[in-house]
Structure 1
Amino acid sequence: MSTTKVFGYIRVSSKDQNETRQQQKMLNKGIDERDIFMDKASGINFDRIQYQALRERIRQGDLIYIDALDRLGRNYDDVIKEWKYITRTLKADIIILENETLFDSRKFRDMGDMGKLMEDQFLSLLAYVADQERKKIRQRQAEGIAAAKAQGKQLGRPAVTLTSLNNDQAKILQNNFILWKEKKITGVQFMNLLGLKKNTFYKIMKEYDKATKT
């Protein structure tokens, strides 16, 4: 006889590292840490390493806790498809903690065909809201980038130049430039000392070489 397992699934975006709140909710439900799966990834699709690992472990009768529906995913069609795969194909259950009184697939299962109809309606509504929120986020990002460009602002990290090196980097450059030119240290060693990437390193070396000859 198989034993029912209880799992927790957590997702935070790569820009939002605050997984502690979701994790604590799972622990409060008595879920073992080894049965909590967490991805730091976009919710646009289900190509997530830990989610796929969880999916492989789910068996009939198992229960999966998720903090909110948008933690499962943000794509309208995919969320509905995945929910139905877990609850109807695998015959496991999902509880959404944010809407626990409403979104507990066990309640819908007990109501038979009428439960399926109600579940579909509620799921479609919430998945639609999650999908629209994702689109709004993308629109706001695009508008922000366009506005910044219109104002002549530089996006991303500022480029590192010879004049932007800090005091420690400037000293390392001065003390090791000749050694590098005479091939007494390698380029990899030198760029590691400076903490620079390859393209930036060679650009600054060119600038410094030119500056010392003028």
Structure 2
Amino acid sequence: MTTKAYGRVSTDQQDLTRQLLKFQELGIEEEHIYMDKASGKNFDRPEYQVMKESIKEGDLLYLDALDRLGRDYDGILSEWKEITRKMNADIVILENKELFDSRKFKAMGDMGKLMEDQFLSLLSYVAEQERKRMLQRQKEGIAIAKAAGKYKGKPRKYTEKNASLIHAVELYQQGDKTVKEIVAITKVSRSSFYEYLKENDIKRNA
């Protein structure tokens, strides 16, 4: 059995260090750590494909979070099942390792498969719907800013990075988290966050 790890961020501006440190703390050898700076909208990523081709029966794959695997509902389910059932390897999600450890589901037999399918379907669906809501809120925010005469320039093309920025702004406006906490949660860079606030003239709610 070989223990592997896969990490991903969506853009070149984002940092993989946090994920890398987690994998190193687990004692995973560098040659078995695969990292991409690419969108999660599909699975045509260089390091992901190399990692997948290297998987053998009995291998164990660590991911920091489920959305590092991908961002597409159907794709997440398909890739998870292919790796754990067709390739007979295992996956552990560090963010939810007490729940998302395919070895535990396998030990439960058919009932475990049913539970695994339900949990995966729920979390994948929630993640996809949240991205759609972020996009809608972004559009609504732009419309409000335009109406108030505060919108400058053309709206940015929607990307996963912008969705994360929208989430960061929402946390910021709630007023109960520091910027340090917000960037850690949303995985956006501090500079991008401040640039977005300035560009859209966003103030923290009192």
When the two structures are superposed, what TM-score results if normalisation uses the length of structure 1? Answer: 0.66
Runs of 4+ with deviation above 4 angstroms: 144-150
* d(CA) in 1 for partners of 2:140, 2:45: 28
- The equivalent residue for 1:171 is none
3-state DSSP of counterpart to 1:120: helix
Work out whether 1:123 is the aligned partner of 2:120.
Answer: yes
Distance 1:33 1:132 in 2: 35
Q: Percent of aligned pairs with the same residue? A: 62
**Residue equivalent to 2:23:** 26
> Is the aligned partner of 1:8 residue 2:5?
yes
TM-fit CA distance, 1:103: 0.5
Matched pairs, number: 154
Query: Which one of the candidate residues 89, 92, 96 is aligned to 1:99?
Result: 96
SS of the residue 1:44 aligns to:
coil
Cα distance, 1:106 vs structure 2: 0.5
Aligned twin of 1:37: 34
2:182 alignment counterpart: none
1:134 and 2:131 matched:
yes
Q: CA deviation at 1:22?
A: 0.9
Query: For residues 78-109 of structure 1, what are the alpha-carbon distances to aligned partners after superposition, in whole Å with 9 as ceiling and x for unaligned?
Result: 10111000000000000000000111000111
Pair member with larger Rg: 1
- The Cα shift of 1:111 comes to 1.0
Structure 1 residues 137 and 36: alpha-carbon distance in aligned structure 2, compared to 1, 3 A threshold: farther
Q: Is 1:50 aligned with 2:47?
A: yes
The structure, 1 or 2, with the larger RCO (C-alpha pairs under 8 Å, 6+ apart) is 2
* Alignment partner, residue 60 of structure 1: 57
Residues 27-69 of structure 1, C-alpha deviation per residue, up to 9 Å, x if partnerless?
Answer: 0111111211111112121121111111111111011000011
Normalising by structure 2, we get a TM-score of 0.69
- On the 8 A contact 1:148/1:155 being kept in 2, the answer is no
Structure 2 residue runs of 5 or longer lacking an equivalent are 157-206
Closer/same/farther in 2, CA of residues 141 and 42 from structure 1, 3 Å limit: farther
2:170 is aligned to none
Cα distance between partner residues in 1 of 2:11 and 2:109: 39
1:175-197, Cα deviation, whole Å (9 max, x unpaired): xxxxxxxxxxxxxxxxxxxxxxx
Check conservation: 2:61, 2:90, Cα contact below 8 A: yes
> Which ranges in structure 1 are unaligned for 5 or more consecutive residues?
158-214
**Cα RMSD (Å):** 2.0
Q: What does residue 177 of structure 1 align with?
A: none
* Pair 1:80–1:145, CA change in 2 (3 A): same
Q: What is the alpha-carbon distance in structure 2 between the residues aligned to residue 40 and residue 147 of structure 1? A: 33
